[in-house]
Copies of this chain bind each other. A is one copy, B any other.
Amino acid sequence: MSRRDSKRNPSDSLGVTRFVPVRHRRSNCLDLTPPAPRQSCWSLGSSKVTSPHVSATYTAALYFSPRVLWSGEDGGPSAASRRTSRERGARLSGSSRPEQAASFLHTGHGAESQSVARVTQVINAGKSALNEDQACCEVVVARRRPMSYCPPSTPSKTPTAKRRNSLPNGEALGLRVEHMMGEESEGLVFHYWALFDGHAGSGAAVVASRLLQHHIACQLQAVIEILRNLHTPPPTVLGEEPDSSPYLQGNAPGPHRSLTRAASLRGAAGAPSSPSSTPPPPRFYMEKRVQHESLVIGAMENAFKEMDAQIEREKQVYSISGGCTALTVVYLLGKLYVGNAGDSRAIIIRDNEIVSMSTEFTPESERQRLQFLGYMQPQLLGNEFTHLEFPRRVQRKEVGKRMLYRDFTMNGWAYKTVEDEDLKFPLIYGEGKKARVLATIGVTRGLGDHDLKVHDSNIYIKPFLSCIPEVKVYNLTQHEHGTDDVLVMGTDGLWDVLTNEEVAEAVSTFLSNCDPDDLHRYTMAAQDLVMRARGVLRDRGWRITNERLGSGDDISVFIIPLMYGNRQP
């Protein structure tokens, strides 16, 4: 988007960030020797348990001008597709058509991408061929379009895209946003950052890093006009004047407390027994007021769902391996929306305080959801697993004794008499980072994994996984941010070895020691974080401070300065 366009955008008055364009700078490319293989499962992903290599990735701090259309890094499967995308990116670099941003995919490694004007550096150190961490950042323009433009919300069972050798880039999927001359002001601009941590292959992570932002844009398209008109609440029904609804007439402060809990509302607001007839005139008029913010949250939730459905459809055409977590940040109309499905994490460091912006979804944190599903649909457990949890595997000789257990209803523990049934493997097993669902996977939300099965069985993992993110909102305009106030996004490779406090301490110390005018200091702080998490090679292992073990996992970090969010253009 050109600066002129930016000024004309009405959303600017609502607090759209004016990001500082990044200057060219050749990054330090880390040459991290892989640590000595200690055991077979160092590397990420079940399909690579025999690989002795680990890879480290860091995605540097990204802050960019509205003219920058797209920036990202991925370990795309073929050099040809990379080149093609890069050429597209290069063609786009001087473009003043912001709506095209969403229609092209630009991929490239470190030095390559620097040939594209104004695209920030992305460094992919370590072995990119094995790298299952993927990242994306982009300025996306969602444009008002007819509904039919977006993919249907119910996944189509018969994909029409023809078979291709490369991974999908959205062109065949109706995701390409066309350029419509003279309607720039109708678009809605959002900034987007995302981290995807793949497992059992990088396919899902690569596809999601290329396409998820388009799904978010698609979902937002239906509500562009509503979001741009913050003074009017979202209408319950589109195309209807809000005041024409009879339900709003009685919405004044009424006899609120006088409705007691077991008083049936059936007579009050229409009997449910006659769905095919017009409900009788309600006695209590009630209509829920929905906030604009909720529409963005809903758009992100449904975008994740659509992305997952697309991967399921496309994997019949393309080869899309594995699954991935997804941590996304959308900056729109003065607010940060952090959507997380998986075990990555985002925190805000502000004025020496830490604000948690995500929750990790793991077998432990989602135990009760998973156990409940296994209890409700025992066929999903294939007669091999029990939904009950035990502190360890039950042994045959313990049948008849009393052992600690947890059911889906319990947060505490109790003793039960062990029965034959309890000898089955527990649905949730292990502790902390070792915890697994169905003895297979250690993360319970994300995209892909449609083919993932329990080893040597016909039991699918996918029914237990959720593709739905938890979305947390941070209102940038409600706080004054200093130059050291940042949002840190990281994959679990970072957070497994550093606590929130250690990360905040490291970032704050690093930034405060930099020249405040150095625009690269966020990039360098991100590099510093990654190297802290990796540690140094000593005593036949990678060590971080206090002689703790460094991370053997992929590590990806975004550090996003927040101070620009306070400034009205």
The answer to whether A236 touches B47 (Cβ under 8 A) is: no
- In the complex, what residues of B have CB within 8 A of residue A420's CB? 275-276
Check if A155 is an interface residue, CB within 8 A of chain B: no
CB distance from A530 to the nearest CB of B (A): 15
Check if A403 is an interface residue, CB within 8 A of chain B: yes
The answer to whether A456 touches B273 (Cβ under 8 A) is: yes
- In the complex, what residues of B have CB within 8 A of residue A346's CB? none
- In the complex, what residues of B have CB within 8 A of residue A294's CB? 411-413
Check if A179 is an interface residue, CB within 8 A of chain B: no
10 contacts between A and B (CB under 8 A): A199-B260, A237-B418, A256-B434, A256-B549, A261-B433, A262-B442, A264-B440, A266-B455, A288-B431, A297-B412
Check if A247 is an interface residue, CB within 8 A of chain B: yes
Check if A111 is an interface residue, CB within 8 A of chain B: no
Tell me which of B238, B414, B496 contacts A299 (CB under 8 A). B414
Check if A174 is an interface residue, CB within 8 A of chain B: no
Check if A258 is an interface residue, CB within 8 A of chain B: yes
Interface of A, secondary structure class, is: loop
CA distance A411 to B442 in the complex (A): 25
- In the complex, what residues of B have CB within 8 A of residue A404's CB? 234, 236-237, 290
Interface residues of A in 420-447 (CB under 8 A from B): 420, 423-425, 429-434, 436, 439-443
Check if A16 is an interface residue, CB within 8 A of chain B: no
CA distance A561 to B178 in the complex (A): 68
The answer to whether A401 touches B434 (Cβ under 8 A) is: no
Tell me which of B49, B273, B403, B471 contacts A411 (CB under 8 A). B471
- In the complex, what residues of B have CB within 8 A of residue A415's CB? 222-223, 238
CA distance A416 to B236 in the complex (A): 11
- In the complex, what residues of B have CB within 8 A of residue A271's CB? 425
Tell me which of B44, B258, B276 contacts A39 (CB under 8 A). B258
Check if A252 is an interface residue, CB within 8 A of chain B: no
User: Which one of A102-110, A300-308, A312-320 is at the B interface?
Assistant: A300-308
Interface residues of A in 365-423 (CB under 8 A from B): 376-377, 384-385, 390-393, 395-398, 401-404, 406, 409-416, 418, 420, 423
- In the complex, what residues of B have CB within 8 A of residue A456's CB? 266, 273
Check if A511 is an interface residue, CB within 8 A of chain B: no
The answer to whether B411 touches A301 (Cβ under 8 A) is: yes
CA distance A42 to B468 in the complex (A): 40
Tell me which of B237, B390, B413, B432 contacts A298 (CB under 8 A). B413
CA distance A297 to B289 in the complex (A): 38
